[in-house]
Amino acid sequence: MKQLSGLDASFLVLETPEAPMHIGAVALLDPSSRGGALSFDEFRTFLAERLAAAPIFRQRLVDDPTGIGKPYWIDDPDFDLDHHLERAEVPEPGGWRQLRALMEWEFSQPLDRARPLWQLTFAEGLGELELATGERLPAGAIALLTKVHHAAIDGLSGAEILAALFDISPDGRLEGLPQDWRPPPPPGTLELLGRAGRNLAAKPFEVAETVRHTLTGAIRAGATWAVGRVEPPPSLFTAPRSRLNAPITRERTWDGVVLPLSGIKAIKDAVPGTTVNDVVLAVCSGALRDYLEERGELPDEPLVAMAPVSVREAHEKSDLGNRVSAMLVSLATEIADPVERLRSIHRGTHRSKAYQRAVGADTLTDYTRFLPFTFAGLATRLYSRMHLSRYHRPIFNLVITNVPGPQVPLYLAGARLMAHVGAGPIFDGMGMILVIFSYDGGLAIGVTSCRSILPDPDRFCALLEGSFAELGAAVRDRSAEGHQTP
């Protein structure tokens, strides 16, 4: 039995009927690599054999009986695999648009908190698809739609689920996994009350230590800016108002695009000092600028993105839950020139990283420990019901999360993974999340929003491709001009 951290619990607190707090993806699988079709029954048998590879599959929540403390993860004594598997048929003609609609519907549905917080949908009926990387997905391919509550995983721990399901060869096998799983009996009320009492007794000491740590970090950060005489990164509630920051609806919109990772790296190499993450942020920034400008809604001030940063140690990689900090970055959307926008973003990420080091990466995680779970949940529902996000500046405009994936082909039950396009949660006042995942030479950008904020995600994805092409062309032009200059 393990208690959720404050950060894990915050995703339960933020959850409302309009804002289910799960993350997920569409994984496109080509079964031709296994020499034949992959049936649902074969997939179910395969998954049953892999359950022991990731604890999240069989763990559910149990509440603190006082209502004040955070819930606990326990092994579910009533676990039933069939509660977590769905089989679906992509409507004819089985194209990307039909798959998108299925994903949007699935991602709008909340998970059942009385069971382990995940679901897999095995979608058949896909027609032939051509990926942006130039590869073709033949008719008869499978789409696996995944959904896991954010309270259970972050980007890197989510990679552990990938490791449990996928192999690096078509005939790969995980050895030594126990198949005779027997959960311990669930904890009783007295045991939970005892834990709650011990946690409450420790709170004053934890608060004092956290405040001391914060003050030390603030002094260190102030000295950093004073000595370096540089502008600090954006702070909370300073982002401009935009269409992204309105109250949300239940109806999700989702789409994605896969860009060649080699093209991203070529841009990075041509603009000294920049990183792959800087280039990805610049591509997203260009699409956001164009999308808002088309509607006459581009703010004069730059949009601000929250970029999660993992603070997970090597020994914590298999742990449930979230080990992330947050970095606020200006997206420089007020700058028209794509190369200058990239350079400005690079300066901004550099400042944000320096600030994060000075303050301490664990500051966000430290304060979420003191979240009064029940009262915070009531406050979230009241905030959503009264649409209070209309009456203050956004905390930030959107989330852009970048998770590096393996650069070799992966296989599930022998079927090759062709693309993995992510999705994430949104909430009132933060109506867009861009999930970036690099895999086997491609870089997928998954776009999640809702119908009232982004009714045309396919248009936004077209602008992402256009932004990438524009930035690449501008970098090549600058390089050519530089070679011609004496």
* DSSP labels, 149-169: ETTTB-HHHHHHHHHHH-BSS
140 with 37: CB under 8 angstroms?
Answer: yes
**Domain of 324?**
1-486
What CATH number does the domain containing 109 carry?
Answer: 3.30.559.30
What are the tokens at 405? 């994936």
Q: In this structure, what DSSP letter does residue 250 have?
A: S
431 with 251: CB under 8 angstroms?
Answer: no
Kind of pairing between the strands at 442-450 and 252-260 = antiparallel
Query: What is residue 137's predicted lDDT score, i.e. its pLDDT?
Result: 83
Cβ neighbours of residue 101 closer than 8 Å, sequence gap 6 or more: 91
Query: What is residue 486's predicted lDDT score, i.e. its pLDDT?
Result: 35
pLDDT by residue, tens only, the chain of 486 residues? 888 887 788 888 889 889 999 999 999 999 999 988 999 999 999 999 888 888 889 999 998 877 777 889 999 999 999 999 999 999 988 999 999 999 999 999 999 999 999 999 999 999 888 776 667 788 889 999 999 999 888 655 566 677 788 999 998 777 767 677 787 777 777 666 666 555 555 555 444 444 444 445 444 445 454 445 456 778 788 999 999 999 999 999 999 999 999 999 999 999 999 999 999 999 999 999 999 999 999 999 999 999 987 665 554 455 555 556 678 999 999 999 999 999 999 999 988 776 665 555 455 554 445 455 555 556 666 667 777 777 788 999 999 999 888 999 999 999 999 999 999 999 999 999 999 999 999 999 999 999 999 999 999 999 999 999 999 999 999 888 765 433
| Report field, pTM of the whole predicted structure over 0.75 | yes
Query: What is residue 195's predicted lDDT score, i.e. its pLDDT?
Result: 65
Residues catalogued as catalytic:
150
How many domains does the structure of the chain reveal?
A: 1
